[in-house]
Each structure stands twice: as C-alpha cells, then as structure tokens.
Structure 1
Amino acid sequence: MFEKTVVDENYVRIPREKLFNFVVEIFKRLDVPEEDAKIVADNLIMADMRGIESHGVQRLKRYVDGIKVGAVNVHPNIKVVKESPVFAVLDGDEALGQVVGYKGMKMAIEKAKKVGVGIVGVRNSNHYGIAGYYSYMAAKEDLVGVSMTTSRPLVAHTGAMEKFMGTSPISVAAPVEGSRPFLLDMATSVVPSGKIEVYRRKNKPVPGDWAISTETGEIIHDPNEILSPKGTILPLGGLGEISGGHKGYGLGAIVDILAGILNGATWSKHVGGTSDKHSDVGHFFMAIDPGAFGDKEEFKKNMRKFMEELKNAKKHPKFERIWVHGEKGFLTYEAREKLGVPIYKKVLDEMNAIADELGVQKLP
C-alpha cells in the first residue's frame, strides 16, 4: 500500500477517528458550533489522510490563534450577497474558511444539479484548508468540481523580488466509472508554504530551487529564512521564464481574478493571514454536471479510458510507473485508515499544549 510520507521514530500514529474527535473537541472548547467543528476537522484530517501533512493538523495552532485574537468569527452570519439559478456570491463574515467553503461548494452542487452548472464566489473569508476537499465534494456527486482560493502574499511573481502573490491553489476533480475520481490539487507556486513549514519543523534545508532571497535574489534553502521577510517562494516553474515560471505566475493571477477580484474580495499582497483582522480571503467554486453536456455515463467511461491511457503510456526508464492525479493520495488514505495517521512528534507536542490550555484530553 502506498505511503507518501516516510514514517520513522519522529512520528506517532493515531487512528483517524481519535484524531478527528480530538480536533472537534478543541474547536468546541473555542465556542465553535459542533457541526462547524466537524467540517473543519474533516478538512484538516483529510489532508493528513491523503499525505498532505502541510495542510493537516499541523495547521491547528494557526486556526486556534486566529480565533483567540478575534480575527476569526466562530458565529458568523454567512450571507448571500447576489444569486441567480446559476451563480451566487457569499459574504463569509470572517468565518472559518472551511465552514464558508463547505457552504459555497454545497450551493454550487445544488445549482449544477438543477441547471447544469453552479458557480459560487466567496468574499470576507479565511484560509479554507486543502482546495481538493471542495472539488472532491462535487466529484462524489458525479459532477466535475473546481475550487480556488486567494492566500496571503508569500510568492514573488516572475521578475519580482518580494512576497507579493499567494500560493493560490487550484483543484479540479472529475468522476470516473468504477474508480476513484481524478483529483488535481496544486499550488500555483513551486510548493505551498506549509511544505516549507514541514522542513522547518524537521530542521532540514529545503531541496530544489524553491525560493529566493528578497535581498539578493539568489536561491536559498533555509526554511527559516524563506518564511521570514528575507525570503520568498517562487511561482510554479521557478525563477525566470526558461522553465516556465511566468506560467505559474499567470495561473496565480487567474486565481486572484476569479477567487478575489471577481467576488469583491482582496487579492495578492492585500490578503491577510488567519490571525489578521479582516483577512478577506476569497474563494471560487464551480460544479458542472456532465449530463448537461452529453451522456453522463459516457463521460465517466471516457474518464476511465483517459486515465488508463495516461498510465499505460510508454514509461521513462527512471520511472517505475505513471501516476494519475489523486491516485497517490487515495492509496495513502487507504493505508492510513488501517495503520493510523502519522503525526510528527513536534506537531503532537504543540497540539497537546493547546489541549492542556483548553482542558481537552491529550493525544495519543
């Protein structure tokens, strides 16, 4: 069974249900309604279950701190600003991003089932976790799902030398006959900031040409420097245009347009962090019913054929197999259902410190 994260003595495995209940209880102690707490916990733990530890429970402190300082509204009045049979715009009232995101994609799904396509934009929200959580919601309903979000400035766009744009993730999911869905979930930067945070926790230098100094423009590898004002992440494709950095820059700009500007939310350097008052993160959700374009079952059959063809193409000698987007994550999920979720011990210590403060039983 595929395991994306190499597990060693620095990790502790915790059953999914136990971890889920722990996270729910933490948020409940912070006066988050139980239903909302379960949405946030499901989002965070789905990330860990799929091997995306950068967006899993290691982010718990980020949300807890945001609630503590009053930057996150735990009893929001999420309002519909505009609506038609096809689209809607929501004001998140500074809620937890996962709560607004779940509501937004649910609306998009409902509209797609009625008229073929549903598009929902969100303003005045917060960090919403993994983008793939929402596109997958649509795929489970036999729809094509699209999810995007703006994020705080951490990326220097092509030619720049400062934290200006967000990592601006995009996710697309599509149903497949008799199989798990296609599920792309990617940052428009070389890596998401959470992955660099993982290296910082492990006290290891980051590999590759992921980031540059904001002072010299040279490639840097120290995660502490990258996450400080002295460093900035590069767009997908890296530095310059030779390897396509301008394309990652362009994808990030598209996210800012669709998830930010279009919805009346902020964009790039104007987006705040979870602990900032009025971070005004924007989201974009779209659900498409393949049955509105043709035969839905034929679409799913062709998706299966497409994925099989991708995997059966002539392989490069340095690769043992060809993967399709989402496949590794689903296999990791299956393994962790049986073996438990590996949590880095430093993250566990941080989580238990929060539990101590809030009077919640500690893990494991």
Structure 2
Amino acid sequence: MTASEMRKLLAAILIKKGMYAVEAETVAQRMIDADIMGRSEFGCLSVVESVKSIDLGDIDPRALSMKKSETPATAWIDANEGMGHVAASKGTTEAIEKAKAVGIGAVVISNSQNLGSPLVYARLVAQAGMIGCCLTSPPSSPEMEAELEEQTFFGRQPAAFAVPAHEATIGYEFSFGVDRPLRHQIPAELSASLGLLQCLLTSGLTGAKTPPEKTRGPLNERFEHFIIAIDPAAFAGPEKLAKTVESLVRHVDSQENSPAYRAAITESPFAPEESTLQQIHELAQKLKVSVN
C-alpha cells in the first residue's frame, strides 16, 4: 500500500468517527510521517488506539483548536481536548511563520491529547529549512511509573529536535527513564534538571499540571506541547547552518558504535508491515469504511 492510499484509508476511518475531513487528513499524514521517521509506535497503527479513545469520549473528534494569546514571536493554542496531531500541526505552522517573520517562533499547546511522535513536528520545521524542536508533557500510567527509575520523578516526557541535512532531515528523539521504543534515553542523573526544564516549557507556560500531578491516567488527563522554530536566516544564515550540519553529520557517521550514531533518525521509505496493514483493514471493515 502506498502512502497516498494509506492516507486516504486512515482519513476515511477518522471521518467515520466524526472528524472533519481536513483534520482527519492531517492526522493521517502525521501518522504516516511517524512511520517514515521510524517511529512506528506512533505510526499508522496508532489509529486503532485513537478510535478507541474517541469511542470512550477521551478525544473530541470535532474539537477546534483556538488561539488563547499571541505575540509576533509566540502563540498559545487551546486544543479543546482534540487530537494532538491537529493542534500540533497548527502550532508547527504558526511557529514556522513567526520564525520567518521575526527569526524565532515559539508555540505552546494546552488541553490536548497525544500528538504522536514529537519528532514528526520537529521534522516539519526542518523541512522549512529551520532548526525545530518539539516537547510534550504526557500523563503517565501506573504501569509506566513502575518502570521509571526513582530519579525520573518528572515522568516520561518525549522530546525531539531536527535540522535540514542535504535534501532530507536528521533528528533525535529522546525521553526519560525506561522507554524501549525510543532509541535514546536521557540518563537518570540528568533527568531532574532536563525534566524540570521540560516541565517549565510545557506545564509551566500553560499553567497545567506537571507529570507527577497527573494521577488519573493518560486517558483522563491532558497533554501539553511546546514547539519552537529557529530561522537561520535571522542569524549567520542557512549556508552556514548547512556547513555546520554537514560537519556534525560526518563526525557522527564516522563513529558507527557511538550512542549518537545509533540514536540519529533519518527518513526511510514508507513500508508498513503486513500485520499493521491487516489490523487497519480489520478496523476499516468493522467500521464499514471503504476507499475506492
């Protein structure tokens, strides 16, 4: 199945569950983007969990993301309990446009649900020729908390950054504590300081609960996100950034056994596994969704 065919199928499933067509297509594309960046946990198969959350009433499929405040370089968006993919896509576009105008754009999103992989949104910024970073502050389930080391008292908080590299992008996605799907974990000794910073940029700027305060579980609490875009044109310029990126990438590539080499994430062709296709087709059949 091609990416275009999968996008149509995923969008049709989400439309069937009450989403507006444009927003359903946005979510479908973000899921495909996650697969392209090697983040299958948040890829096309995640539509199954999204449908369950909609059925349980934890996601409002008709929610409209609204701006609460704005300056030339910043914006605060209320996701109104909608899918995080929608609000984060809108926030990323805002951050890029503001960075084009004033050199830097920072957007915070509150009252959201899961955005999927933060790397997807950092990559969107990188595709615009900028340095992108995305942080998210999700609730943790008791099962997750049991896996986290004692020092990771700020919870499981995925984060990512990406930069343009040649005609593609390169990025890193990392988290705190035990998080097997991610390729890079922040050591426990750094989790307190970096976790505090992440809490300040997500929970702090939106006035929301911090991860340790979110005790009702992932489906009963909301997520906060922070997205930033930095335009090199406002500084030394894109050519200088490109040279720096090329130098750093060469250095990382020369050390195949280093943590940096193993953690780097680049784009790959869209090629979902057969088991993924089967589960999505089963969901489509259950919902009586077909795409010609």
Indicate conservation of the 8 Å contact 2:145/2:155, yes or no: yes
CA contact (8 A) 2:30 2:120 kept: yes
Q: Deviations over 1:32-56 (max 9, x none)?
A: 1111111111111222233322222
In the alignment, is residue 341 of structure 1 matched against residue 283 of structure 2? Answer: no
The aligned residue for residue 262 of structure 1 is 205
In structure 2, the CA distance between the partners of 1:17 and 1:166, relative to structure 1 (3 Å rule), is: farther
CA distance in 2, matches of 1:300, 1:114: 21
Distance 1:120 1:187 in 2: 20
Residue number in structure 2 paired with 1:294: 236
2:227 aligns with 285
CA contact (8 A) 2:153 2:192 kept: no
Other-structure match for 1:171: 160
Indicate the residue corresponding to 2:172 in structure 1.
184
Identity of aligned residues (%): 23
Q: TM-score, normalised by structure 1?
A: 0.70
1:215-273 Cα shifts (integer Å, max 9, x gaps): xxxxxxxxxxxxxxxxxxxx946xxxxxx412134433332221122212222134465
Q: Which has the higher helix share?
A: 2
Matched, 1:159 2:150: yes
Rounded to whole Å, the distance in 1 between the matches of 2:153 and 2:193 is: 13
What stretches of structure 1 of length at least 5 have no aligned partner?
Answer: 1-13, 197-234, 238-243
The structural deviation recorded for 1:309 is 2.5
> Where do 1:1-364 residues align within 5 Å?
14-153=1-140, 154-155=144-145, 158-159=149-150, 165-176=154-165, 178-191=166-179, 195=181, 236=185, 244-271=187-214, 275-276=219-220, 279-313=221-255, 322=261, 325-327=264-266, 330=267, 333-334=268-269, 336=270, 340-344=271-275, 347-348=276-277, 350-361=279-290
**Equivalent-residue separation in structure 2 for 1:249 and 1:59 (angstroms):** 30
8 Å contact from structure 2 (residues 127, 168) kept in 1: no
User: Which stretches in structure 2 are left out of the alignment for 5+ residues?
Assistant: none
> Which protein has greater RCO, CA pairs closer than 8 Å, 6+ apart?
1
Shift of 1:349: 5.0
The answer to whether the 8 Å contact 2:138/2:218 transfers is no
SS of 2:273's equivalent? strand
SS for the counterpart of 2:60 is coil
- Asked if the contact 2:119–2:161 (Cα under 8 Å) also holds between the matched residues in 1, the reply is yes
CA positional deviation for 1:148: 0.5
